[in-house]
Every structure is written in C-alpha cells, then in structure tokens.
Amino acid sequence: MFPTPSVPRIVAVGTGTCVPRLDRRGPCTLLECEGFRAVVDLGLGALHGLLTAGVRHAELDAVVFTHLHPDHTAELVSLLFAARYDETPRVRPLVVVGGPGIRAFREALGRAYGGWIEPEGYRVEWREVGPPAVFELGPWRVRTAPAAHHPSSLVLRWERKGFSAVFTGDTGPHPPLAGFARGVDLLVAEASLPEGEAFDRHLTARQAGDLAREAGAGRLVLHHLYPSADRADPGRHAREAFGGPVVVARDGLRLWPPGPDDS
C-alpha cells in the first residue's frame, strides 16, 4: 500500500461516464493526506481502481458524492456489502456525504438490500449537506456550491494548508462557479461533450477551459469524458480557452502532486 503523507496525493481512479468502457471506469477520484483516505464519487469499477491505486475498500475513511446519479454512486452498495462480508471485516468508521436527497437515497437502499449492507463491526456516519455548506473531513475543510445539473448536485472545494482542489462533478455552464473556484490550485472539471454539442447540464472541454481561465486556476484536469468527447481532441480545445496547463485525465493518473510530464 502507498503511504499517506502530509502532501496530498490525488489520483484519478475513474474518469468516464455511464458508458461502460475498458479504458475508463466510472467517476471516482482518490484524495489521500495525513493517513486519511477519501473519494469523490464511486462509479462503476471504482473499487478495483482503488486497488490499483494501493487502497483497499476497508481503508477508505470517507465517500463524498457530487450527486446521486447512478454513474456516480454505482459502487456504494458494493462497498457496503464488502465491508460486511469480506474475509477481513471492516472496523474503520466510514463517513458518507451527499447533497440534498442522500438520506432518502440511504433509506431506499436499505429497503432494497436490507441487512446485507447494514454495518456490522464498524460505524457509518451519513451526512446530508446543502449547497452552500462548509464542513471538516479528516485534515480537509470542504466547501460546497450548487451545480447546474441536478437538485442533489454539489461542486466541492477541498482546502488544507495552502492547497485547494475543486471538483465540479457534473454541471452545465454556471457563472458563480468561477468565483467559487477562484485561485484554486487544481480544477477537476467535467468535459462530457464534444464542441458543438453543448447543453445546459454538461460542459465541453472549451467551456471547462473558460471556467479555469475565469477562476484563475493553477491547473485544469478534464474528467468525465464520453467517447465522443475523447475523439474530439478535448485537450486542445481546453488549452485554447484556458492558456494554462491542461491534463486530459486517464484512469490511474496521479493528479497531484503533478509530475513533469503531466501537462
């Protein structure tokens, strides 16, 4: 397993969408710092991707959802099921954070799966937070803002000791986001759609670049790519709009600290 130093390690575990692909798992990003391990979203294939990143499901401390669509929550049931029935049962407490509707979501899962996903030998803390909100999570201070996507949607800003990262989750163009992401070191933005196919619930790569430029972000990572967006040279469009360093995320890529060949 990888160490968890005081400098955050951020890994793109899954960078795709609802479309099953061999090269892109469902959305999931790992944040490790000071022994605390959290993920933003838990899409299809995330638990296997976390193993590739050196983290077992039982070592996760927190799951934070940007919203409750199936492609972002698909492996929560698998996580809870494994936590109860793994040969080495989970003992580490788990925090699950989501926007409006997470409590009803939890209750629906309980009705569907019953005791199979109820914690045994460990504790789960469910937190429903609204945008805007501010809360502490391990070594992090997390701020939320609304996104132009779904009533449960949260844009997340993670902050600690002079470092900040913003995760847009799914969103369409939304002018307040530039202010929320102002001066962020790392902006992980969805870029679902190819240019010319924009609509009000998702971004193109150029729109993600516009957001990074307006926010004065230090580094832009394109995430949540449909196959058509992958084929449309998203990195070029984002760079033209942003003018700063752009990374087209791929599964398993370390996003922070950045390497010399990451941009």
Whether 51 is covered by a domain: the verdict is: yes
CA 258 to chain centre: 18
Whether 256 is covered by a domain: the verdict is: no
Task: In whole angstroms, give the CA distance from residue 20 to residue 103.
Answer: 28
Whether 259 is covered by a domain: the verdict is: no
Q: What pLDDT score does 261 carry?
A: 54
Q: What pLDDT score does 199 carry?
A: 85
Nearest partner of 14 among 90, 89, 74, 102, judged by Cα: 74
Tokens of 160: 């600690």
Q: What pLDDT score does 214 carry?
A: 98
What is the domain-level CATH number for residue 107?
3.60.15.10
Integer Rg of the chain from CA: 17
Residue ranges making up the domain that contains 92: 9-251
Q: Is the peptide bond before 5 cis (omega within 30 degrees of 0)?
A: no
Question: What backbone phi and psi angles, to 5 degrees, belong to 261?
Answer: -110, 20
Residue-wise pLDDT for 48-70, tens only, equals 999 999 999 999 999 999 999 99
| pLDDT at 260 exceeding the cut of 80 | no
Instruction: Compute how many other C-beta atoms are within 10 angstroms of the C-beta atom of residue 46.
Output: 27
Whether 257 is covered by a domain: the verdict is: no
Whether 263 is covered by a domain: the verdict is: no
pLDDT (average), residues 132-146: 98
Is the Cβ–Cβ distance between 46 and 14 less than 8 Å? Answer: yes
Provide the whole-model pTM.
Answer: 0.96
Is the Cβ–Cβ distance between 13 and 40 less than 8 Å? Answer: no
Whether 156 is covered by a domain: the verdict is: yes
Maximal C-alpha separation, the chain: 52
- What stretch of H or E contains 157? strand 155-160
What domain count does the chain have? 1
Residue-wise pLDDT for 194-225, tens only, equals 998 878 999 999 999 999 999 999 999 999 99
Q: What pLDDT score does 4 carry?
A: 45
Arithmetic mean of pLDDT over the chain = 95
Confidence of residue 262 (pLDDT cuts 50, 70, 90): low
Q: What pLDDT score does 45 carry?
A: 98
Task: In whole angstroms, give the CA distance from residue 231 to residue 193.
Answer: 10
Q: How many residues does the chain have?
A: 263
Whether 130 is covered by a domain: the verdict is: yes
| pLDDT at 136 exceeding the cut of 60 | yes
Whether 3 is covered by a domain: the verdict is: no
